[in-house]
Structure 1
Amino acid sequence: MDWTQVILDKFPRKAIYLIKDEDSILENEEMRLVLRENGIAVIDYSDPVHFRFVYESDYRNKFSGTLIIRLLECNFEKIPWDVHANSFKLTIGLNDIFPHLNREAVIEIDPQHWQQLFEIQTNSVKQMNYENTKRIIETIYSSIIEDKKRQPQVKINDEVDLSIFKKSKKIFSDWGLISQIIGKQRLLETSNTEFENLVNESNQEFQEFITNDFDKGQSMTAFKQPNYVNQIASFMERNVNRTGKRQALIVMDGMSFTQWALIERWLITKGILTKTNSTIAWIPSITSVSRQAIFSGKRPDEFEQSITTTAKETHHWKAFWKSHGFESTEVKYQRGLGHRTYQDEYLEFKYNQTKIYGCVIDVIDEFMHGARQGLVTVQSELNIWLNRGYLEAMLHELIDLNYDVYITSDHGNIEAVGIGQIQQGVLATGRGQRVRIYDDEVLRNSTHDFHKETTMKWNSSTLPKSYLPLIAREKNAFSIKNDIIMTHGGTHIEEVFIPFVTVLKKDEL
């Protein structure tokens, strides 16, 4: 029996369940996968306005399955009465899965090992104390180490373990790890046919995953890290409540894990250490959609009027923080940074009154769109830029001013091959190299019908109804046939999964 079955059995009928999830069990991706496979949806309740929007839009009178409403930092009575009155109320925790083990000890084990622990505890008939439970956990870790010694790892480079690529039924965290590995491998070996074939095969698998799970994954909570870029601002807001420190967000426009691998290695040589996670760019992976989602903290269907421009980013950023109690003078936003020497740059995070700082450094995006030799050009120019010391100086100064500093991107990039342009004049409202946007579904569909082998329709409930993307498949681009270009806008794993980085301070090392 699987431990997930214990939790699954708590939802025997099609109904609404209000759940107090004391040990974040429903945050576990393996559990979420099992729930989805059984037709059970999960949404989190924290902000009542956002909950009402999601509930009315996606579930009331539209969903006939089982719905779990997971309460975040609130009690059952905080739920709107019409939902509260028609739902079951449950509290779940680790004691449900491990009734014979000490909860405080179980909390310390990584959830990926819960199944081994679950199988061991089924042989127990009496309650174990903390020390006995810890002995069992230590036995599990010892057996894992021995297994790793016996099992050969699939490797192309001694520094990168690629076995995750072969895992079946991958979940979001697996794809995030794969994206990080791609960047690291590219840094170690700039040209490796075997590895590139592996990336292409994985991306084909990823296309099915992201098509099915992009919308569903937005129910994942962002307590430990923002899963989607629109959760970054909320993640920072919770952090400022926890630490009371000034917050800074640096968006490196267009940065994929391949560029981050180079930046990370370079920062280490300068004594700046970081913690790297992944987050998900919005699709289509273009600046006006995904970067606007970062600074607004919203889904694209919530900023429909400005979805084609970045001009409202200052307004979005200030409005978000104002709604959480900050004065306009305490919140700063800057863009177009990184082109001058650091000493000549006018930077508003230096003001004493600044508490929240967001900025865009767009040099990588510029390198990408001007790259004549593809990825090699981007990496070379990025290395030159890093050696000029701009980023190093900015990070050191932010740390000295006691900011909590985060670095992210709005989308990644790929080396794509031109398949020719679609000649439609002004019929498409947006014409990128990897995506074309239509406001008429008939036109979008007919265009797809003429180019079925090279395009895909992207449909998402998170986009405005009149915003209809047609995306180039694989590594194709709507550009001169056979031209190799660096670009973005599609659903390739290297465009969608991007870095979310915490800059570490000395007391966090």
Structure 2
Amino acid sequence: MILHHLPRFLARQMGEDRTAKIALIVVDGLAMDQWLVVRDALASRRPGFGFREQAVFAWVPSLTSVSRQATFAGKAPIFFPSSIQTTDKEPALWAQFWADNGLTPNEVVYLKGLGDGNLETVSEALSHPKARFAGLVVDKVDKIMHGMEMGTAGMHNQVRQWAKQPYLNTLIDLLLDRGFRVYLTSDHGNIEAEGCGRPSEGAVADLRGERVRIYPTPALRGKVKERFPAALEWGTVGLPEDFLALLAPARQAFVQEKQRTVSHGGVSVEELIVSLIQIDRTGE
């Protein structure tokens, strides 16, 4: 299963039950190895949690605006070309998917920017008597990643520290208490990479990720590839025709040479295979 299949998967879980309530927590940037760290922290704080674990594929390039947006749209990125460089349309795409499945706007919740602080906003949104399908973006791990200078070990340490805080288990408790079936996934993972140099492309790149560059034409992409012959020109299957990705070489990133970074955008297993977990309380 690829991430854009998830809403349909959730709709099937609902079936004909017009009272079913489902919450999808998308922990932006959470790699599978980091999920194991989170799981251990959750289990130690809440021994009653049960985890049914699967895996799904992220989109390539493994960027938030591509993969997370596809998750909430329930569609391949080729179907949202006008917003593929931003996540601003996610609430509308999430609402549209559920509208197409017979739900009203009052039954659909979308919130992002979660991960620390209090849960009043979430609690208020879920308290609407008709709220049935919640899409919740937790972006704390992605923020940790983009400030990470200590590699994979540093990521594990920081993610563990965050997961030991009460936020995530309190969020899950809140959802379970309100009768939601809770699923947790991620839009992409991340890897530790070494810099291979920055493309000096001026303003020709539409998107500049550390592990991927996006160009509007083959000529522009080809010119940059000349300098980085080991980089991979990715095809546009499922992507808009003018969304041409140049992926950094294996375990490398388009940053200063020899610089270590934790990033995403490429096609490593760690970036592309993410967890899909159903979380419940054992015995319920």
TM-score normalised over the length of structure 2: 0.95
> In the alignment, is residue 503 of structure 1 matched against residue 279 of structure 2?
yes
Aligned letter for 1:317? W
Quick one: distance in 2 between partners of 1:292 and 1:304? Answer: 11
- Structure-2 residue corresponding to 1:86: none
> In the alignment, is residue 252 of structure 1 matched against residue 27 of structure 2?
yes
Match of 2:11 among 223, 234, 237: 237
- Structure-2 residue corresponding to 1:404: 181
Match of 1:280 among 29, 44, 57: 57
Aligned letter for 1:336? G
Query: CA deviation digits over 1:313-366, x for unaligned, max 9?
Result: 000000000111111011010000012134686551232221110010000000
> In the alignment, is residue 478 of structure 1 matched against residue 254 of structure 2?
yes
> In the alignment, is residue 389 of structure 1 matched against residue 163 of structure 2?
no
- Structure-1 residue corresponding to 2:211: 434
Quick one: distance in 1 between partners of 2:274 and 2:204? Answer: 32
SS of alignment partner, residue 26 of structure 2? strand
- Structure-2 residue corresponding to 1:443: 220
Quick one: distance in 2 between partners of 1:374 and 1:418? Answer: 13
> In the alignment, is residue 353 of structure 1 matched against residue 130 of structure 2?
yes
SS of alignment partner, residue 298 of structure 1? coil
Query: CA deviation digits over 1:457-503, x for unaligned, max 9?
Result: 00032111111000002110000111111100000110001101111
Match of 2:72 among 265, 290, 295: 295
> In the alignment, is residue 315 of structure 1 matched against residue 92 of structure 2?
yes
> In the alignment, is residue 415 of structure 1 matched against residue 189 of structure 2?
no
Q: Please state how far the C-alpha of 1:264 moved relative to its aligned partner.
A: 1.2
- Structure-2 residue corresponding to 1:324: 101
After superposition, the Cα gap between the structure-2 partners of 1:345 and 1:238, relative to the gap in structure 1 and judged at 3 Å, is: closer
Q: Which of 479-488 and 346-355 deviates more?
A: 346-355
Aligned letter for 2:185? T
Quick one: distance in 1 between partners of 2:29 and 2:124? Answer: 21
CA RMSD of aligned residues (A): 1.5
Structure scoring higher RCO (CA < 8 A, sep ≥ 6) equals 2
SS of alignment partner, residue 15 of structure 2? helix
After superposition, the Cα gap between the structure-2 partners of 1:245 and 1:345, relative to the gap in structure 1 and judged at 3 Å, is: closer
The 5 A counterparts of 1:56-135 are: none
Match of 1:261 among 6, 27, 36: 36
SS of alignment partner, residue 273 of structure 1? strand
How many residues align? The count is 281
> In the alignment, is residue 468 of structure 1 matched against residue 238 of structure 2?
no
- Structure-2 residue corresponding to 1:52: none
Quick one: distance in 1 between partners of 2:94 and 2:121? Answer: 25
Q: Is the 8 A contact 1:339 1:363 kept in 2?
A: yes
Match of 1:487 among 248, 251, 263: 263
Quick one: distance in 1 between partners of 2:152 and 2:118? Answer: 25
Quick one: distance in 2 between partners of 1:347 and 1:254? Answer: 26
Aligned letter for 1:265? D
Kindly indicate which of the two structures has a greater share of residues assigned to helix. 1
The 5 A counterparts of 1:172-251 are: 227-241=1-15, 243=17, 244-251=19-26
Aligned letter for 1:479? V
Q: Is the 8 A contact 2:148 2:261 kept in 1?
A: yes
After superposition, the Cα gap between the structure-2 partners of 1:398 and 1:346, relative to the gap in structure 1 and judged at 3 Å, is: closer
Match of 2:234 among 458, 465, 471: 458
Q: Is the 8 A contact 2:61 2:265 kept in 1?
A: yes
Give me the identity figure in percent: 33
Kindly indicate which of the two structures has a greater share of residues assigned to strand. 2
Quick one: distance in 2 between partners of 1:505 and 1:297? Answer: 28
Q: Please state how far the C-alpha of 1:242 moved relative to its aligned partner.
A: 5.2
Which has the greater radius of gyration? 1
Q: Is the 8 A contact 1:267 1:273 kept in 2?
A: no
SS of alignment partner, residue 194 of structure 2? strand
Q: Please state how far the C-alpha of 1:231 moved relative to its aligned partner.
A: 0.4
> In the alignment, is residue 424 of structure 1 matched against residue 163 of structure 2?
no
- Structure-2 residue corresponding to 1:109: none
Query: CA deviation digits over 1:171-213, x for unaligned, max 9?
Result: xxxxxxxxxxxxxxxxxxxxxxxxxxxxxxxxxxxxxxxxxxx
